[in-house]
Structure 1
Amino acid sequence: MTAREKLNWKGRRLDVEVGPVAHGGHCVARYEGRVLFVRHALPGERVTAEVTEDKGGSYCRADAVEIITASPDRVEPPCPLSGPGACGGCDWQHASGEAQRKLKAAVVSEHLSKATNRDIPVVVEELTGGLLGWRTRVRMAVGFDQLPGFHPHRSHAVIPVGHCPITVPGLVESVAGQEFAKDSELELVRDGSGRIHARQLKLVRGYRGRMHYQRKAVAGNGEPAVEFAAGRHWEMNAYNFWQVHPAAADTLAAAVGEWAQASPGACAWDLYSGVGIFASVLAAQVGPEGRVLAVEQAGQSSLDSERLLADLPQVTAVSRKVEFALREGLLDGPDPEVVVLDPPRKGAGHEVVDTIAGRHPARVVYVACDPAALGRDVARFMLHGYKLESVRAFDAFPMTHHVEAVALLTPGD
């Protein structure tokens, strides 16, 4: 073991100049040749950073516990549980809204610039509703005291919470102070009609020792949720994937529709389709003579999609993991003119990108919730002769480091 590998600064307090933002809700600082990923700081500040995690090597993690020279973008966090060692749900409560969007734009731009080897300017667009009271879906942990709360950053501890400023009013409060089975989780949803749905998830050992979630309704009695987006009414399982910001689903559907431009009678794919919002947009473009294949792994979402889009016979729902659907020929037939994909945080990956590119769509509209994964997949598309035509980004997760981006890729140099 080398001297560097034995190095452990955990607990040390270091005065550092804070550098640029990095992906993950922190900024980069340097001390004695090592990188510090510092939370609760802003670029340009001088802070006292306490090292919270150090596994040796070239970097460690730290919290800014004292602000020596503050950035003009610094504001007072609206939540008393925001800060070092407290709730880890928010990353940028100490930054103004404009500053948050600039920080996110810098991260998206950095990853796309690395992928394309050219400067990619990015503007993160603000959604309606402001910085607080927007989150309609949240997962809470239950601690040993049986009270629901949230984890600190990179911790399994649970901080009891009775109110969360970024969630819609009444959502967290609906379970605050109640006791639940320890080590369980709560999923809370307020749907588009204002109704609250809640269920408890408890990981238990079942047949042949296999672990699975035991689900118990807490509110909503298992009734369907109602959402509204893309000019349609979506009545579905409350715990299907749905955007957490009330304005996000409509905003993304409009952006996808603008760039998809599927021709009447054409074939289009909607991969990782959820309940089919983008599929409904593509169906309107290709018309009754066209074809839309909507591929979704989650069985309940796929079933709901088939039912909700029954009035659009040009849409075929494929209930299969995207990689398997592509391998097994479930998407055989005419090559798609347009492919829309909205993969999970890890991205689509080489196999999916390679297969899409091999079908030569005229346009690929990629919806991404992780800038690093988007950058990796854009670089892979470029190996197949595609270019990044345009990108838009949206602040669908104010106060956090998360950002939603939409990229348009087309064949070309």
Structure 2
Amino acid sequence: MDFDLQWLLIGLPVAFALGWMASRFDLKQLKREREDAPRAYFKGLNLLLNEQQDKAIDAFIEAVQYDPDTTELHFALGNLFRRRGEFERAVRVHQHLLGRSDLKAGDHERAQRALAQDFMKAGLFDRAEAAWQALEGTAFDGEARLALLSLYERSRDWQRAAAVARQLEAAGTGAFGSRIAHYECELAEAADAAGQPFDAEAALQRAREASPQAARPVLLAGHRLLKAGQPARALDTWQALLASQPASFLLVAADYARAALAAGQGAEAHAALTQALARLPALELVQALEALEDPADPARLPRLLAHLQQQPTLSGAQRLLAVPASQWTEEAWPLLQSAVKRGAAPLQRYRCAACGFEAQHYYWQCPGCLTWDSYPTQRLDAL
């Protein structure tokens, strides 16, 4: 017993000493690794600021190897991969973060958002949709719904786009009434094309409720009435638009004249268009008036010349050229010249033979590629 006790008394201090030495070694090793991690991190940051992304990525990978649990390094590395277009590597980094059970809730949401951005940038819209949907109800809820709205618009899924837009508006993110009206009009046009008039009418009603001042539902409603053989009702619908939004009315000016002729209300429509032309000089209104008149009406040419004087455009000049020259007055030719000159001026450009840079003025040295004597001296009509 004395012998055993003696060795025990000797062994305990030895074991304690060895354990203390081992712990000191581990502490030094751990301290060295912790010192190496920030050193690699700051090295990567410096390289990133110097726009040396390849070397910065290598430095960040080294830092992650020293300290795999550092989430910020993973986020930085994933963002670098995404910026460089290496979406597969970015996805792997962010999926690795999401797979960690010790990740905080806030960091988990950040990783989910980063993953959704990876899929968006990579053009993987179906996977991006699922990733954004996983963020609903989180701190990134608004951003996720806006991204989903963009995805649904891109895929022309108007029903889901309208639903998301209504959710965003209800949450106070912004006003989406105008966009909802467009979505519903798209649904109405699709329903009409599929032979579902009742669904089309319901969609138009929702569009008007979403944005009472929107012009598109009114335009579409008039077109549907005209197509259904109700030109008088189409005229009434568009008449309100002519009074409230004459600029939008220009899109249906020709159809308005056609509906007026079909409804036997040419004189009333002519008077309304004449008043509108006095407020808004537009070639569309001039053409609509001509559609209601006899080709030999003497008022046609003076009205066209007055329009050319106010707006000397190539379209107006083309309209004048359709009139027989024998009917022209003295002021017709100068107005035609003025319109052609004004319309052709922006098209006349010098084009660099080296890089294709176009300019209205001649340059001895190209402002685009800095090449000397690269501009031909002859102008081109750049269309």
TM norm structure 1:
0.25
Q: Name the structure, 1 or 2, with higher relative contact order (CA <8 Å, separation 6+).
A: 1
Please tell me whether Structure 1 or Structure 2 has the larger radius of gyration of its CA atoms.
2
Q: Quick check: which one's helix share is greater?
A: 2
